[in-house]
Amino acid sequence: MTKPDDKTTTDNNTKDLFNNQNLLLIRQAVMGQLPAPKNNLLDTLPQTKYYESKDKPAPTLHRQARGYMKTTASLVGRDKDKEQSLFDLPRFDTNTRAYKETLTKNTAIAGHLCLALWQTSKNDKGVYTIDNLKRFADKLNITPQELKIYLIYLGGYQRPITKLNIIREKGKKDKRILSIYHDKLFLVRFNILLKDKETENDFTNDDKIGTNYCSFIKDRDITSVDVAPSTSFIEELQGRGLGNVLVDDGFVAFSLGLSDLAYKLFCFSGSNKPNYKINFDKLIEKKNLNLERQIKGEYTATGKRLRAGKGKPKILAKIQEALTELKDKGHLTKWAYDEATELFSWTYSSKIIKHRELMPPKTEQAEETGQTRQ
């Protein structure tokens, strides 16, 4: 394994795509010919730290649902609700409609890993089974106990989800309908080994950790965990809704090495157009990076301030630092901010997320991959 390359990626990275095996892999993906992984993809995924390597073969590719990436770009942040946080006090949340608007970065990345493994290793019922929690947790550099809590967060709470529907009528312009609703991000089912003669009735809520949607029993071995993405994410992996982006299998390891805000921008920038422009006020909106409360503070319905905001200059500086981090680590080739118009612009490389615009001309087979130009 080579040492990390600390050099900033330049526009040459895009040109290099045509000089190695990446272009071949992208062509195979467009034609629906992604090579089958050897053994279990969990065995071949990069370890918890992303390393540059010029002497290794081009990485294999998988898809990430753009709706999940947009959701994590918005939701990732610190959990301010200490009373409800499973990370502070693991317990059973009796709220019948358990709902959360915050997701930690590592929990979100656990979801990316679930999406990658679900695509290659799901069974005929559409479920991926984690049969070794430690092997899975090792890929995230966490303990099995932490993994169980992350899975509770992915499957145990309702969260806002963004979904795009395109209505096509013959002879008319397509209608793009954006839906924002609440659902669990994943179906998560813990399979627990009971002691002799034990039944579900032997346990109260005090013996459980989780919510009414998803829970496990304390001090009992978990033999496996069944995982499946929400219906909307499955549709995106199939090419509907917001579609998906092709990424190499270093996606998870690369994400783990990012700061929270850089990770949010990394997911937000995950489109099939490498060049992007957006105004500051739009970038911080709830549906995008969701930073408005950090700037203005939090207030009750009656106007009482709960938390002071950090102000626009500080958040602007943080965003610029995060963009610089993404450039230094090779995801962006360049970025700029125009103070007069408050407009951000950036161009990302093909290091992790593969450009839709660098792929072969649009074909019927390309449509099957779900590689939209959004």
- Would you say residue 346 has pLDDT above 70? yes
208-211 and 92-93 strand pairing: parallel
- Would you say residue 359 has pLDDT above 70? no
Residue 4 domain flag: no
Residue 1 domain flag: no
Sheet order of strands, 215-217 included: 92-93, 208-211, 215-217
What local confidence, expressed as pLDDT, does residue 79 receive?
A: 55
Residue 255 domain flag: yes
How many structural domains compose the chain?
A: 1
78 or 201: which leads in pLDDT:
201
pLDDT band at residue 108 under the 50/70/90 scheme: very high
The contacts of residue 105 (CB under 8 Å, 6+ apart) are 76, 255, 258, 260, 263
What local confidence, expressed as pLDDT, does residue 51 receive?
A: 45
- The pLDDT of 40-54, averaged and rounded, is 55
- Would you say residue 68 has pLDDT above 70? yes
Residue 137 domain flag: yes
What local confidence, expressed as pLDDT, does residue 316 receive?
A: 96
Q: pLDDT tens digits, residue range 281-296?
A: 999 999 899 999 999 8
Residue 127 domain flag: yes
Residue 3 domain flag: no
Q: pLDDT tens digits, residue range 193-204?
A: 888 888 888 888
Least confident of 73-82, 108-117, 199-208: 73-82
- The pLDDT of 216-245, averaged and rounded, is 91
What local confidence, expressed as pLDDT, does residue 175 receive?
A: 86
Residue 6 domain flag: no
- Would you say residue 21 has pLDDT above 70? no
pLDDT band at residue 32 under the 50/70/90 scheme: very low
Residue 218 domain flag: yes
Distances, alpha carbon 232 to alpha carbons 68, 101, 169, 288, 317, in Å = 9, 18, 22, 18, 35
| Full domain range(s) for residue 134 | 12-369
What local confidence, expressed as pLDDT, does residue 181 receive?
A: 78
What local confidence, expressed as pLDDT, does residue 283 receive?
A: 96
Q: Are 56 and 62 in contact (CB under 8 A)?
A: no
Distances, alpha carbon 339 to alpha carbons 210, 284, 344, 345, in Å = 46, 16, 9, 12
In the block, which residue shows the tokens 């700061």? Answer: 259
Q: pLDDT tens digits, residue range 294-329?
A: 998 887 778 788 788 889 999 999 999 999 999 999
25 or 343: which leads in pLDDT:
343
